[in-house]
Structure 1
Amino acid sequence: MGETIDRAPEQNELVAAFIAELRHWRAIAGYSQKSLAKQIGYDSSYISKVENASLSPSREFAEKADAALHAGRALVRRWKAMHDAGIGPEARAHGGSAGDPQSTPGTALVVEHEDAALSFHGGMVETHVRRLLRNVGIEPVTSYLIRISVDRFPGDPERSNRLYRKDPLTWEEINLRARCGEEPMTWRVVHDRDAFKELWLLFENSDGRFPLYQGESTWIEYIYTVPEDKWGPWWKRAIRLPTRRLSLAVILPAERQPTVWGLETSMTAEATPFRTPFTKELNGDNVAFRWSTDDPPLHARFRVEWKFKNPNVAGEEDLGMDQMSPSDKMRAAGVVQEGESILAEVARPFDLPAEAEDARRVVSELGAKMERIAQVHTFAKGMGLAAPQIGIGRAAAVVRTPEDHVITLLNPRIVGESATVNEQYEGCLSFFDVRGMVPRPDVIEVEHQDIEGNILITEFTAGVARLVAHEIDHLFGTLYRARMRLGVLPIPVAQYTGTGKRWGFPSRDH
Structure 2
Amino acid sequence: MTTSPVERAADQFVTALAQWRLERGMTKKQLAARMGFDPSYVSHVEGRRHKPTEDFARRAEAVLAAGGAIWQKFQEYDELRHARATPVHRDPPVPAQWMPPGTGLIVEREHAALTYIDGGYRCRVRRALYNAGNEPVTRYLMKIAVDRYPHDPAGSNRHHREHPLTWDELDIEAVAGEGEAVEPMHWRLKLDRDAAKEVWLLFANDHGQFPLYPGERTTIEYAYTVGAEKWGQWFQRAVRLPTRHLTVRLDFPVEFEPQVWGLETSLAAEVPVRTPLERHNENDRAIFEWSTGAPLLNARYRLEWRFRGAGAPTYEETAPPATEPLNGHTFSVPEQRASHRMRGIGIVQRGSDLLRQRARHFQLPREERSARDAVTSLLTTLERLEALHEFSKGVGLAAPQIGLAAAAAVVQPPERDAEPVVLLNPRLIGESDDTDEQYEGCLSFFDYRGLVVRPLWIEVEHARYDGTRVITSFEQAMARLVSHEIDHLEGRLYVDRMAADATLVPMSEYQQSGQPWAY
Where on the TM-score scale, by shorter chain, does this alignment land: which range?
0.5 to 0.7
- SS of 2:315's partner is coil
The alignment status of 1:297 with 2:296, answered yes or no, reads: yes
Partner in structure 2 of residue 217 of structure 1: 217
Partner in structure 2 of residue 194 of structure 1: 194
For structure 2, the residue ranges without an aligned partner over 5 or more in a row are: 1-98, 319-332, 344-348, 360-377, 413-418, 461-472
- Relative distance call for 1:146 and 1:187 in structure 2 (3 A) is same
- SS of 2:336's partner is helix
Q: 332, 336, 350: which is aligned to 1:329?
A: 336
Q: Which amino acid aligns with 2:283?
A: G
- Relative distance call for 1:417 and 1:224 in structure 2 (3 A) is farther
- SS of 2:150's partner is coil
For structure 1, the residue ranges without an aligned partner over 5 or more in a row are: 1-101, 320-325, 337-341, 353-366, 390-394, 446-458, 506-510
CA displacement 1:318-356 (0-9 Å, x = unmatched): 89xxxxxx94331793999xxxxx99999997899xxxx
- Relative distance call for 1:468 and 1:174 in structure 2 (3 A) is farther
Q: What RMSD over aligned residues (CA atoms) do the two structures have, in Å?
A: 5.2
Q: Distance in 2 between matches of 1:344 and 1:279?
A: 32
Partner in structure 1 of residue 245 of structure 2: 245
The answer as to whether partners of 2:188 and 2:202 remain within 8 angstroms in 1 is yes
Q: Which amino acid aligns with 1:151?
A: D
- SS of 1:172's partner is helix
Partner in structure 1 of residue 139 of structure 2: 143
Aligned residues: 350
The alignment status of 1:377 with 2:388, answered yes or no, reads: yes
Q: Which amino acid aligns with 1:427?
A: G
Q: Distance in 2 between matches of 1:158 and 1:334?
A: 21
The alignment status of 1:165 with 2:183, answered yes or no, reads: no
The answer as to whether partners of 2:355 and 2:488 remain within 8 angstroms in 1 is no
Q: Distance in 1 between matches of 2:269 and 2:105?
A: 28
The answer as to whether partners of 1:143 and 1:203 remain within 8 angstroms in 2 is yes
- SS of 2:335's partner is helix
CA displacement 1:29-50 (0-9 Å, x = unmatched): xxxxxxxxxxxxxxxxxxxxxx
Q: Distance in 2 between matches of 1:232 and 1:241?
A: 25
User: Which moved further from structure 2: 422-431 or 114-123?
Assistant: 422-431
- SS of 1:179's partner is strand
- Offset of 1:382 from its aligned partner? 3.8
- SS of 1:329's partner is coil
The alignment status of 1:204 with 2:204, answered yes or no, reads: yes
Q: Distance in 2 between matches of 1:472 and 1:258?
A: 38
- Offset of 1:473 from its aligned partner? 8.8
CA displacement 1:193-237 (0-9 Å, x = unmatched): 111112211111111111001111111011111111211111111
Q: Distance in 2 between matches of 1:238 and 1:404?
A: 36
The alignment status of 1:496 with 2:507, answered yes or no, reads: no
- Offset of 1:427 from its aligned partner? 3.2
Partner in structure 1 of residue 121 of structure 2: 125
* 1:63-78 map, 5 Å: none
Partner in structure 2 of residue 263 of structure 1: 263
- Relative distance call for 1:117 and 1:296 in structure 2 (3 A) is same
* 1:12-91 map, 5 Å: none
Partner in structure 2 of residue 439 of structure 1: 453
Q: Distance in 1 between matches of 2:257 and 2:148?
A: 20
- Relative distance call for 1:192 and 1:311 in structure 2 (3 A) is farther
- Relative distance call for 1:475 and 1:489 in structure 2 (3 A) is closer
CA displacement 1:278-321 (0-9 Å, x = unmatched): 211111222101111222222222111112223634653289xx
- Relative distance call for 1:108 and 1:462 in structure 2 (3 A) is same
The answer as to whether partners of 2:149 and 2:156 remain within 8 angstroms in 1 is yes
Larger of the two Rg values belongs to structure: 2
User: Which moved further from structure 2: 430-439 or 116-125?
Assistant: 430-439
Q: Which amino acid aligns with 2:483?
A: A
The answer as to whether partners of 2:111 and 2:246 remain within 8 angstroms in 1 is yes
- Relative distance call for 1:429 and 1:264 in structure 2 (3 A) is closer
Q: Which amino acid aligns with 1:187?
A: W
Q: Distance in 2 between matches of 1:153 and 1:127?
A: 19
Partner in structure 2 of residue 24 of structure 1: none
- Relative distance call for 1:498 and 1:332 in structure 2 (3 A) is closer
The answer as to whether partners of 1:396 and 1:475 remain within 8 angstroms in 2 is no
* 1:98-109 map, 5 Å: 105=102, 108-109=104-105
- SS of 1:229's partner is coil
Q: Which amino acid aligns with 1:498?
A: G
- Relative distance call for 1:257 and 1:312 in structure 2 (3 A) is same
Partner in structure 2 of residue 463 of structure 1: 481
- Relative distance call for 1:384 and 1:218 in structure 2 (3 A) is same
> Identical aligned pairs, as a percentage?
41
Q: Distance in 2 between matches of 1:259 and 1:317?
A: 16
- Relative distance call for 1:383 and 1:170 in structure 2 (3 A) is farther
- Offset of 1:438 from its aligned partner? 3.1
- Offset of 1:141 from its aligned partner? 0.3
The answer as to whether partners of 1:386 and 1:396 remain within 8 angstroms in 2 is yes
- Relative distance call for 1:255 and 1:480 in structure 2 (3 A) is farther
Q: 419, 425, 431: which is aligned to 2:439?
A: 425
The answer as to whether partners of 2:172 and 2:224 remain within 8 angstroms in 1 is yes
Q: Distance in 1 between matches of 2:421 and 2:509?
A: 26
- Relative distance call for 1:431 and 1:214 in structure 2 (3 A) is closer
- Relative distance call for 1:427 and 1:310 in structure 2 (3 A) is farther
The answer as to whether partners of 1:327 and 1:429 remain within 8 angstroms in 2 is no
CA displacement 1:53-96 (0-9 Å, x = unmatched): xxxxxxxxxxxxxxxxxxxxxxxxxxxxxxxxxxxxxxxxxxxx
Q: Distance in 2 between matches of 1:405 and 1:175?
A: 54
Partner in structure 1 of residue 281 of structure 2: 282
Q: Distance in 2 between matches of 1:471 and 1:261?
A: 26
- SS of 2:189's partner is strand
Q: Distance in 2 between matches of 1:419 and 1:201?
A: 67
Partner in structure 1 of residue 57 of structure 2: none
CA displacement 1:455-477 (0-9 Å, x = unmatched): xxxx9964143256489898797
The alignment status of 1:176 with 2:172, answered yes or no, reads: yes
Partner in structure 2 of residue 74 of structure 1: none
Q: Distance in 1 between matches of 2:208 and 2:482?
A: 64
* 1:305-324 map, 5 Å: 305-310=304-309, 312-313=311-312, 315-317=314-316
Q: Distance in 1 between matches of 2:310 and 2:118?
A: 14
